[in-house]
Structure 1
Amino acid sequence: MIKVLVVEDSVTVCKVLFHLFQQEAGIEVEFAKDFKTAKALMGKNDYFAALCDRCLPDAPNGEVIEWALAKGIPAIVLTARMDEDERTRLQGLGVVDYVLKENRFSYQYAVGLVKRLQRNGDYRVLVVDDSQVARKQVKDLLERHQFQVAEADSAEAAMIQLATGEFKLMITDYEMPVINGVELICKVREQVDRDELIIVGLSGREEVSARFIKYGANDFLRKPFFAEEFYCRINNLIQAQELNQKLWQRAHLDYLTGVANRRYLMTQLQDHWSQSVASGQPLCLAMLDVDMFKQVNDQHGHQAGDRVLQFLARELSQSLERFVVGRVGGEEFAVVMPGLNGEQAWRLIEAVRRKVTGQPLQLEALSLGVSFSAGICQGRGDDTIDTMLRRADEVMYQAKEAGRNLVLLEEESV
């Protein structure tokens, strides 16, 4: 939960913002109608951000904005008018952005900015430039929007940073010694695609913009640039990537448990089986079925059944993060385990079974024991993914017939 302060003397504007913030989970909003009240609230509360009216009865020149910034609170300015001099002054102060009080969309944009700042705190950005002054300028802009920022003074240093850390965005200048920005992007794109890392190129030379884009940059900014344009480009790129990730998740992940859905699981199994055949490395498949699941639904309701599935999916994902975990359907899951032989796979799934049965699921006042039965098979030269699924499924049902809460390897079932 984050806390946001709105400093605004217009009752109408406050009502609109209150309504919009009420629709956002995880945000608590407080209001101050004047500078005096705002100072008192800032003195006793920690605010994630403040939306500040530029002209208040007791602070007609934006004093509340400077006060919030001095307290280390990111400030979004609400204003009825804006000219070039005032825009320059506000950018110089270090505000997040300004919003003209024109219509409902303006206030939706302001609330969206707060949500954007909240998400940005999880993202790391790499700034690459051989000029320390230029790096600091970009870094300062990014930190205003709550990004975590790392720096590299050369393409070589950037490659080391990228290899040792996870980044959402890389911003690189063109003109650098030894390896320029376009050459750096070529090297990066050999390892990381556009869906994983956003890259923005910078240069004072307009003619290199096409080279940046052609060789893998998501966008290009010509120097010098306005801070507003910088933020609009960066935010739009990140929002587009977030949307693509959501679409990917909807297409590939199970809506209830968050593990791979059946279609994506089958694709992964086929890919890993093809690699196994080509490399000669083993591949094992485990099929798991929740014990007495119908009884859970009948006695405690489908909501309890959903919680059981989510619990097991979470335990499988955490314990088997190296491998592909998917929901086949209903209460049935599968795990694709490349690189493991049958005995190794059995030991791993057995360890998960022991862990699951050793920690009952707490459902309000109810403590519910959860267990599963599993069958494991190792791929053979004449297999297809269909025959592997059938073999693992047969072993799983033999485990259930043998008393449930049991993991069997195919050879053990003969």
Structure 2
Amino acid sequence: MNNRVLIVEDHKTTAEILTKIAQKLGFEVEVMSSLADLTASLIEDKAYFCACVDFHLPDAHHGEAIDQTVAAKIPTFVLTGRLDEQVRQKVMTKAVVDFILKETVHSFDYVGKLLTRLKRNMQVNILVVDDSLSVRKYLRTLLERQNFTVIEAVDGLDALALLAETPQIKVVITDYEMPNMSGVELTSKIRRKHPHEKIAIVAISSSNNAMLTARFLKNGANDALNKPFDAEEFYTRIFRNLEYIEQIEEIEFAANHDYLTKIKNRRCFFELSNQALKTANKPSALALLDLDHFKAINDTYGHEAGDIILVQAAQRMAAHFKDGIVARLGGEEFCVLLPETSIDEALGRFEFLCHHFDSFEFKVLTQSLNVTTSIGLVEISQQDLSTALKQADEALYAAKEHGRNQVVQYGQSI
């Protein structure tokens, strides 16, 4: 992803505020104050993630700078100090992402929200279902302007097949009148497999019939629009429904992941591991891992350094065991379940992890530290998960008693 934001604004204070907002979100910023500067930059064929352009510049009083960035295919949102209906109509005919009225501090908050939204949209797939090619092209143009990835379906049957092939789809926009299957029927079929919090359905119809809108909503649509619709209203509906899905995802993530390391938490580990063990046809391997001398690290370098090490340790474990269930149980203690993995294979993999921790330093603030790990390993076959964890804990204790920085298998003499 190109990470450079272009700001075209002649007011110095406004440009500084916008720059700080974009930089805080991780963007690089290039500021220009006139149409002449912008034209020179675009001639150099520079690439930008998006552009924030003032409607009125000293050498461009009527939005001419907007035409330049839009023509260069740069997603553009507009800043304006005046927004009567005439200016609004002029802005929205220029194929811009959005417009922002420069009047309060909340206006600038919206800039940050918009930049975040444009970045997130790059990961969002939207399915457009309509038998009219011209309508599909129009909706694609609107959506791609906002950085969405667009998938097209010609009817309901085509849409259901694409949904089965593309689980990343978060929004379905469907027409009502289509061959083979109506939009209402499609909505009902989608809802049998996909709940509201996973996929949003926005119905579009040329009819002003309130009963049709009600049918869509009763059959599972999240929202409904009548043609012809305003682009601004269209975007608002899409964003509102996406934000609902994202809020649910954030809640679910918080419930299942450790707040610091972002790997699975204790509750989620037990839930997923018990499910995996119920369906396993072969023995599995379970390991408890503890970072060595972690209290001394906190006492010497501070808790911020300790947190950094915990995050890096979790990242290394997750990278080494992509086929397993990795969790932080608490403090500096982690747990890994490798479903249907022989104890010999697991032993080799955890010994490799021990070597990795011992060999590669942790980058902490302004220095590098060596941190090792002790590991208790057990095979799970007939015993339940709680029993296996107690056995792994005994093996972990033995690893620490015999010098740390090693793997001890439960039941094996050292």
Q: What TM-score do the two structures reach when normalised by structure 1?
A: 0.85
Query: Contact 2:291–2:371 (CA<8 Å) still a contact in 1?
Result: no
2:406 corresponds to which residue?
A: 406
Question: Which residue number in structure 2 is paired with residue 78 of structure 1?
Answer: 79
Shift of 1:184: 3.2
Aligned residues: 408
Question: After superposition, what is the alpha-carbon deviation per residue over 1:252-286, rounded to whole angstroms, capped at 9, x for unaligned?
Answer: 3212211112233233344445x34xx76655432
Q: 1:236 aligns with which of 226, 235, 240?
A: 240
Structure 1: distance between partners of 2:155 and 2:125: 18
Correspondence for 1:217 among 200, 215, 221 = 221
Q: Distance in 2 between matches of 1:72 and 1:129?
A: 26
Task: State the alpha-carbon separation in 2 of the partners of residues 132 and 284 from structure 1.
Answer: 54
Contact 1:154 1:177 survives alignment (8 Å) = yes
Deviates more, 1:81-90 or 1:391-400: 81-90
Higher mean C-alpha displacement, 137-146 vs 302-311? 302-311
1:173 is aligned to: 175
For structure 2, which runs of at least 5 residues remain unmatched after alignment? none
CA–CA distance in structure 2, aligned partners of residues 104 and 302 of structure 1: 36
Post-superposition Cα deviations, 1:361-405, rounded to whole Å, max 9, x if no partner, equal 344553525333132241526x3x433322221222233334433
Partners of 1:16 and 1:301 lie apart in 2 by 34
Residues 274-317 of structure 1 deviation map (CA, whole Å, 9 limit, x = unaligned): x34xx766554322222333344455544443333222211221
Partner in structure 1 of residue 132 of structure 2: 131
**Is residue 372–residue 404 contact of structure 1 (8 Å, CA) maintained in 2?**
yes
Matched residue type, 1:121: M
User: 2-side partners of 1:149 and 1:361: how far apart?
Assistant: 41
Cα pair distance change 1:42/1:372, threshold 3 Å = farther
Q: Which residue of 2 is the match for residue 388 of structure 1?
A: 388
Gap change, CA 1:68 and 1:244, over 3 Å in 2: same
Matches of 1:351 and 1:195, distance apart in 2: 41
Match of 2:253 in 1: 249
> Which residue identity is paired with 2:126?
V
CA contact (8 A) 2:174 2:203 kept: yes
Name the SS of the counterpart of 2:137 in structure 1.
helix
Distance 2:133 2:36 in 1: 40
Query: Separation in 2 of the partners of 1:14 and 1:38?
Result: 15
CA pair 337-154 structure 1, distance change in 2 beyond 3 A: farther
Q: Offset of 1:143 from its aligned partner?
A: 0.7
User: Could you tell which deviates more after superposition, 240-249 or 223-232?
Assistant: 240-249
Q: Quote the Cα distance in structure 2 between the aligned partners of 1:339 and 1:218.
A: 42
In the alignment, the residues of structure 2 paired with residue 281 and residue 143 of structure 1 have an alpha-carbon distance, to the nearest angstrom, of 48
Residues in 2 aligned to 1:399 and 1:187: alpha-carbon distance in whole angstroms: 55
User: In structure 1, what is the Cα distance between the partners aligned to 2:229 and 2:64?
Assistant: 27
Identity %: 38
Whole-Å Cα distance in 2 between the matches of residues 215 and 99 of structure 1? 36
Task: Give the corresponding residue for 2:199.
Answer: 197
Who is 2:64 aligned against?
A: 63
How far apart, in 2, do the equivalents of 1:397 and 1:147 lie?
Answer: 52
Q: Deviations over 1:312-332 (max 9, x none)?
A: 211221232333211111111
SS at match of 2:412: helix
Q: Distance in 2 between matches of 1:219 and 1:323?
A: 39
Structure 2 counterpart of 1:39: 39
